[in-house]
Structure 1
């Protein structure tokens, strides 16, 4: 009987998963705190790897095991992937920090990644929400980072949230028949709804945000993305307020439109998806988008 070898050519590379312990590149009082990561390593790893940056509060598994599944899917295509816990999260030592202080931890993870995979030459940083913002803000600091994959980047400010809420919640409701039927039947507290609407509308007119939004992520993110000359894949959820806030930035600021219109930028949307891509179908779509893009150049 003739043996059919066709499946051998289609088989995915074997993947090992290795637990790693390493230190942050920080120079603070907790610089000796150990971080924990999981390396998904193909037998013949590509010289291009992916470092997954977690958002907070979150650890290396990800919501709905998204980071585990993504790492394994990419590694099955030959891409080595490291996902890790920032200091103070998951199994890593130290005190918890927000995304603005993630840079030294990312640098420490990169050092370990290149040490553990000698054939590695370049890396794409992958992040969701404030993990995406942390990744982008760190990217210009290391020439080995050649690409960013950003999912629903965190760009929240008081004014931006108000604009997105007004445009994508209140205004669409006025076009819904159910809203008017509920209003006619007395099932809607009109006074409270109008008061809420007035508050949101007033917030969109506030120009002096220095006190409330002095630590808003958008300015630092814009500076970093302007400096970064690598490739960028932006993936937005179809049903997520954070994604709408990103779009509001583009609608209101030509500087953002200039950055995102550059040739090295690619944008995709997962229709219907929520912020963390909670369904298996949405996560699979993200995996396919990322894998095809990372192997297309």
Structure 2
């Protein structure tokens, strides 16, 4: 087990087993005595084609910042990703990975009693599905960034609204169109997207394509623990999510639910790739952990 210690955090590698495969993880712990309750930790779930460091080392830097503020953090590669063994599993298949990661987290940090799952994109979707399937009482909250709800129709609708309509407002587009510099393929693409978007409203999507979105909505509805929703302003995935939440009956009112805290970063891209956006996410996460998650736990303790 490799370890790194600084004045602000301690970091060590560890591995654990999930259904016969070996998963690799990094545990980051506060070096100083915790100023926040020591029983609360953050599990970073990896989504998309990335591993436990995250795009632009976002997960590594997030873990170190949260540890500086007193929160232990575990980030790991699920089966088939990064340095973990086994065939690749997509976000709908990693419920066992998340469960065994929480077990490993508790084994490595015995004082841990409550866990917040932090996930970006389809990892946010996986976090909701984990809670829906397990109803794990250790889950003290979910931090979800740009959740993934994509279907063919939702992508078409968001593309038409947030790409093509913006293009139609640009004089340069019309100059190209009139001069013949806009290819016929681009116009056919627009027409195809319009048809797919109209299909979404007519209810032509297959039920199977909606299964995971419905599962996410059910988890969001029934979860009573705090939920932090972080959305990027310059991200089609975030716009798709908002479109879906506004249009689908199962999502009506969920973004305004009392347990939900929403934070928007208008200038951020999908992975919060610049230093300012990355630091804003870390600070928003830490503030929510301190104010919402810990106060929620205190209220529950007072009622019991």
Scaled by the length of structure 1, the TM-score of the pair is 0.89
Moved more, 74-83 or 50-59: 50-59
3-state SS of the aligned residue for 2:156?
helix
Aligned residue in 2 for 1:203: 196
The answer to whether the 8 A contact 1:52-1:84 is kept is: yes
The answer to whether the 8 A contact 1:13-1:78 is kept is: no
1:39 aligns with 2:27: yes
Give the alignment partner of residue 112 of structure 2, picking from 115, 120, 129.
120
Change over 3 Å in CA distance of 1:13–1:79 after alignment to 2: farther
Aligned residue in 1 for 2:213: 218
Give the alignment partner of residue 227 of structure 1, picking from 219, 222, 226.
222
The answer to whether the 8 A contact 2:116-2:140 is kept is: yes
Aligned residue in 1 for 2:76: 84
- Alignment of structure 1 residues 138-153 onto 2, 5 Å: 138-140=130-132, 141-153=135-147
Give the alignment partner of residue 239 of structure 1, picking from 228, 234, 241.
234
The answer to whether the 8 A contact 1:13-1:77 is kept is: no
| Distance in 1 between residues matched to 2:50 and 2:180, nearest whole Å | 42
Aligned residue in 2 for 1:64: 56
Larger helix share, 1 or 2:
2
Change over 3 Å in CA distance of 1:227–1:283 after alignment to 2: same
Once the 2 structures are TM-superposed, how far is the Cα of residue 182 of structure 1 from its aligned partner?
Answer: 2.3
- Alignment of structure 1 residues 98-137 onto 2, 5 Å: 98-137=90-129
The answer to whether the 8 A contact 1:137-1:225 is kept is: no
3-state SS of the aligned residue for 1:239?
coil
3-state SS of the aligned residue for 2:14?
strand
| Distance in 2 between residues matched to 1:154 and 1:216, nearest whole Å | 13
Once the 2 structures are TM-superposed, how far is the Cα of residue 272 of structure 1 from its aligned partner?
Answer: 1.9
| Distance in 2 between residues matched to 1:280 and 1:79, nearest whole Å | 21
3-state SS of the aligned residue for 2:82?
coil
Scaled by the length of structure 2, the TM-score of the pair is 0.87
Once the 2 structures are TM-superposed, how far is the Cα of residue 216 of structure 1 from its aligned partner?
Answer: 5.6
Once the 2 structures are TM-superposed, how far is the Cα of residue 117 of structure 1 from its aligned partner?
Answer: 1.3
Structure 1: give runs of 5+ residues left out of the alignment. 1-11, 25-30
3-state SS of the aligned residue for 2:89?
coil
Deviations 1:130-169 (A, max 9, x none): 1111011112420110111101111001111111011111
Structure 2: give runs of 5+ residues left out of the alignment. 1-5, 293-304
Once the 2 structures are TM-superposed, how far is the Cα of residue 13 of structure 1 from its aligned partner?
Answer: 6.5
The answer to whether the 8 A contact 2:214-2:250 is kept is: no
Once the 2 structures are TM-superposed, how far is the Cα of residue 224 of structure 1 from its aligned partner?
Answer: 1.8
3-state SS of the aligned residue for 2:92?
helix
How many matched pairs?
Answer: 278
Q: Where has structure 1 moved over 6 Å in runs of 4 or more?
A: none
